[in-house]
Amino acid sequence: MNRTLAALLLLTLPAQAADRWANPHTMTVIMVDNRFEPDHVVFEHGKLYDLHLVNRGKDLHEFTAPAFLQAATIKDKHLLASGGKDIVVQPGKSTDILLIAPAAGQYGLTCADHDWDGMVGSITVN
């Protein structure tokens, strides 16, 4: 009986892990030359999101949010750049990051290449 129960538990673990990443809320941020749209993004702690980043600008842009990205649970960490501090999006391209929002708080947001020109924002997690 114990072996049967153990086998059933092992069979359900991959399904539970896959369910963790199912049905995300989409949060879209447009990167245009030297601004984020919106420039203030609000997440809810513990909820699953598909952070959909679209670069409609002519330059490469980065979603640089070190504290937020390091605190969030991220499915595909290999999509992060600069040691997990930002997400790079080429001109005319988009990328999606599945994440679970971290603890409540305020987090900074910049484009590492264009913050000097006002490409800054903020992230709030409630």
- Altogether, the residues listed in the chain come to a count of 126
CATH number of the domain enclosing 102:
2.60.40.420
Q: Residue 8 domain-assigned?
A: no
Q: Residue 93 domain-assigned?
A: yes
Output the 3-class SS for the chain: CHHHHHHHHHHHHHHHHHHCCCCCEEEEEEEECCEEECCEEEECCCCEEEEEEEECCCCCEEEECHHHHHHCEECCHHHCECCCCEEEECCCCEEEEEEECCCCEEEEEECCCCHHHCCEEEEEEC
Q: Residue 2 domain-assigned?
A: no
Whose structure tokens read 């673990």? Answer: 13
Number of domains in the chain: 1
Q: Residue 36 domain-assigned?
A: yes
Q: Is 5 left (phi over 0), alpha (psi -120 to 50) or beta?
A: alpha
Q: Residue 15 domain-assigned?
A: no
Question: pLDDT (tens digit, 0 to 9) for every residue of the chain, 126 residues total?
Answer: 555 545 544 555 455 556 889 999 999 999 998 899 999 999 999 999 999 999 999 999 999 999 999 999 999 999 999 999 999 999 999 999 999 999 999 999 999 999 999 999 999 999
Q: Residue 9 domain-assigned?
A: no
Which residues form the domain of 102? 23-125
Q: Residue 4 domain-assigned?
A: no
Q: Residue 81 domain-assigned?
A: yes
